[in-house]
Structures are given as structure tokens and as C-alpha cells.
Amino acid sequence: MKMMHANEIRAGDVLLCYKDAKIDPVGKGITRVTDSEYTHAAICIGPCVAAEATVSGGVGKVKIEDLIKRYDHVAVFRQPDAWRPPERVQAMNAFVDSIVASGAKYNLRDVVTFKKRSDVHQLSLTEQLHAFFNGTYTSAPIEKGRYFCSELVANCFVVTGFIDPSAAVIYKSNVTSPGALGRDPTFGTFCGYVSSVPNYSVPATDEFFNHSTFDEIFGDGA
């Protein structure tokens, strides 16, 4: 287990948020549907700032320090290849600025129907790929009026071009859960945990507790 400081978080890092289900009934429902104790996702867009989508605020920006305070701990994932060259960070920020300015809301409807749509997506994936390569597939718009949290994060990887159009069929953003972001190396390698709780210990049952960290795999200078 590795604890990090918030100031170590870089632009493009994916932030997965954990809160004890005993005091988070909404999170308990998300855990039941997604099979993960991580119930919220955000993405760092610059020094000390993240983008997120919430039920109460829609799509917006939040100080990472304030985001961390809302949860027991936050797991950090890093995919440096996604954010080189730096124009990709600029593209991500332009996307976030655009949808924030448009007043994008929280995509509650797709959260409610998540399990059913996810199952349909997996069962029809071959047909969707055939349609893509036959030129008959209709991609969902990246810029739209509503997003749920992990949908927003996944779209940041699509809008920069790191996930290309054919791969976007597989990584369909509105069937991507917070936990799924952490399990797929496309969105990053586990870096460690951050928490604002004094002397906090991450539960040993945490799904990333025994994972090798980014620094262990790639070295401190990556």
C-alpha cells in the first residue's frame, strides 16, 4: 500500500473515490450495480484541480483537496502516454471548459439503467464492431448535455484521441463504471492512495490494495 500527497497528482490522473457503504447509501447502490466499492470518478485537469460530474452540481471543476475531503480515500491512476504531447491536456481542458460553459448536467438516467445497458453492450459488441467497420455504426456524441462521473472521465480520453474511434466502440463511455476505469490499464496504472483522514489506513479488502504501483513498474522518473 502506498499513500501519496495530493500535490503529486498530475494532469490526466484518474481519481477513484471510496466511501464506506455503511454511511453512503447511494454509494451502496452503485457498488451493487458495478461490483466495486469505488462509487465516484474524477480526472485531474491541472495543478490542484479536477473535473467531475455530480448529482447536485452537474459537470464542474473542483479543488482536488476538497474532492479528497468528501471521501475516505481516493485511488490515483496514471497513464502518461495519454497526455503526451501536452496538446492533449489542452484538448481535455477545452472539452471540459466547453461542457461546463454549456451547463452540462448529471446523467442520472443512464446511471439508473446502467446494469441493463452494460449487459446489452457486452452481448452486442461483435455486432457493433462489424457495424463500425462497415460504416453503419453511429457514434454517440462526445459533447452533450449530460454525463455521469466515469462517463465524463472516459470521454476525456476519447476527445484527446488517445482512445481512437474504433476503440471507442469497446470503451463506450456511458457503460464505463468508476471501478472499470481502475481495472483497465488504458486509463492508467495504480499510483497510490490519498486521504485527508489523519492516520488513515486503507482497508485490506480494497481491490487495489495489493497492486504494484506505477513507480514500482515504471520507476520514479516516468
- For the chain, report the end-to-end CA distance as a whole number of angstroms: 19
- Over residues 148-196, the pLDDT tens digits come to 999 999 999 999 989 887 776 677 888 899 999 999 999 999 999 999 9
Q: Which amino acid is at 106?
A: Y
Please state the domain extents for the chain. Answer: 6-114+144-163+176-218
Question: β-pairing, 189-194 with 73-78?
Answer: antiparallel
Q: How far is CA 186 from CA 158, 204, 209, in A?
A: 11, 25, 19
Phi-psi region of 135 (alpha: psi -120 to 50; beta: other; left: phi over 0): left
Question: β-pairing, 14-18 with 73-78?
Answer: antiparallel
- Over residues 46-81, the pLDDT tens digits come to 999 999 999 999 999 999 999 999 999 999 999 988
Q: Mapping DSSP to helix (H, G, I), strand (E, B) and coil, where does residue 220 land? A: coil
Per-position DSSP letters for 156-209, written without gaps between them: HHHHTTSS-HHHHHHS-GGG--HHHHHH-GGG-EEEEEE--STT----TT-TTT
| C-beta of residue 76 within 8 angstroms of C-beta of residue 192 | yes
The whole model's pTM is what? 0.90
| Distance separating alpha carbons of residues 198 and 73, to the nearest angstrom | 11
pLDDT exceeds cutoff 90 at 107: yes
CATH of region 6-114+144-163+176-218, choose from 2.30.130.10, 3.90.1720.10, 3.40.50.300, 1.10.10.410: 3.90.1720.10
